[in-house]
Structure 1
Amino acid sequence: MDIILEAKPRETGAHSTLTKLRHEGQLPGVIYGYKVANKPVTLDYKEMAKAVQKFGSAGVFKIDLEGNQINAVLTDIQRCALKGTVKHVDLLSINMAEELEVDVPVMVIGEASGVKEGGVLMQPIRELKIKVKPSNIPESIEVDASNVGMNESISVAEIRSTVPFEILNADEDTLVSVTPPVVVNDDTAGQGDTENQDIKATEAPESES
């Protein structure tokens, strides 16, 4: 990794202080874990965003904390509910020689045969929790859906032996499935219209003779 993010210690205090930091382009956060006590910090918002864009949210970030370089992973990202901007991050300092548990995005590749037949592709799980050494964390886990037909699926059990790390999700968890499209019954809709017409006709006043 060729991007080193500088983390500056910050004082914990009022909410207004955090707001001021954000307006100045700083991102409040906290670093904890391997050889690091729980340390409130700030990082440059743009530099952090650039690093996440390049290496992904599951990547290992090199942090310069008061002259000491540490390796860390993101464990939590808090966003503004209205704007979607990042408000706060938690960084876990790690030992590069030890395995850790991380969530990695699932990327579906290939066009499912069931979709070509008119089916709808479903992806119930968009992340998998894996146990892996930091240097081997993948940006994503690819799942090839090309051979998934109508009413078929791919479970965790079917890809477990194809990856070089341990997947912690249950075997029965579904990664991809193809379901038939929802069919609207035009006849039923027509009957509803007729019933409405009958109600209106019944409710209509009788004409004077």
Structure 2
Amino acid sequence: MISLLQLHLRTDQGRSYVKQMRKQGRIPAIVYGREMNNQPVFVDAAEFLKQLRTTGGIGLLDAKINDDHVRIIVRDIQKHPIRHDIIHIDFLAVDAKTEVDIHVPIHLIGEAAGVKDGGVLQQAMHQLSIRALPSNIPPSIDIDITNLQAGDVITVSHIQTNGAYEINHDPTEVIASILPPKQEEEIHSGEEQEPGRPESEEGRETTP
């Protein structure tokens, strides 16, 4: 368990107050849950970013709202479209004995043998929806692709959960694959061709 995250109740939700709070290095947020009313809060930006680097934003966090202890997970992070700094956070208050649905990032580990032979790695999924007790939420789903050859495919069914969580996806969904070199060349050559009007047998463009 990581260190306690301190949240502070917000009594003013006006735009000017929120803007001033961001200038002071604080991030507005909200905490909600099945057994509690929505509570507008703020968190110190530096403290939260430290937690984010430690956990990747995934997993159970111990927090305090003023003096009340609460266990939370990060449900959503909103960022400014241009500056990309965090402008709002949604926290979900959870019961340690109640399963929750959450998206966990997928990390592909190693360099595939098929890539070394000239193939191209394609990652179709970058996060996985799982259902787990808060204490069993992994920071990421790590998949070793070292032995993946050209033409090989990794699907959801290849993930070993060891009973810690359930996966909310069809087992046949593709996570990653290695595209053979020749197929990759064909795709690129096809992308370069501009669509044209059909030609007649004499080689001239047909008229509608």
TM-score (norm 2): 0.83
Equivalent in the alignment of 2:116: 116
User: Aligned to 2:49, what secondary structure does the other structure show?
Assistant: helix
**Where does residue 15 of structure 2 map in the other structure?**
15
- Partner Cα separation in structure 1 for residue 25 and residue 12 of structure 2: 18
Residue aligning to 1:85? 85
Match of 1:158 in 2: 158
The Cα shift of 1:13 comes to 3.4
Larger Rg: 1
Pair 1:42-2:47 in alignment: no
Give distance in 1, aligned partners of 2:146 and 2:70: 41
Local SS of the residue matching 2:54: helix
Instruction: Provide Cα deviations, 1:19-72, integer angstroms capped at 9, x if missing partner.
Output: 110000111000010432101101111101111111221121111113111000
Partner of 2:197: none
Q: Is 2:66 the counterpart of 1:66?
A: yes
CA displacement 1:82-128 (0-9 Å, x = unmatched): 11110000000000011111111111112212111101111111111
Give unpaired runs (5+ residues) of structure 1: 190-209
Q: Which residue of 2 aligns with 1:107?
A: 107
Output the aligned Cα RMSD.
2.0
Aligned to 2:138: 138
Is the alpha carbon distance of 1:61 and 1:105 closer, same or farther for their aligned partners in structure 2, counting shifts above 3 Å? same
Decide which structure has greater helix share: 1
> Aligned partners of 2:127 and 2:169: how far apart in 1?
10
- The answer to whether the Cα contact below 8 Å between 1:34 and 1:95 also exists between their aligned partners in 2 is no
Report SS of the residue matched to 1:63: strand
Query: Is 1:160–1:167's contact at 8 Å kept on the other side of the alignment?
Result: no
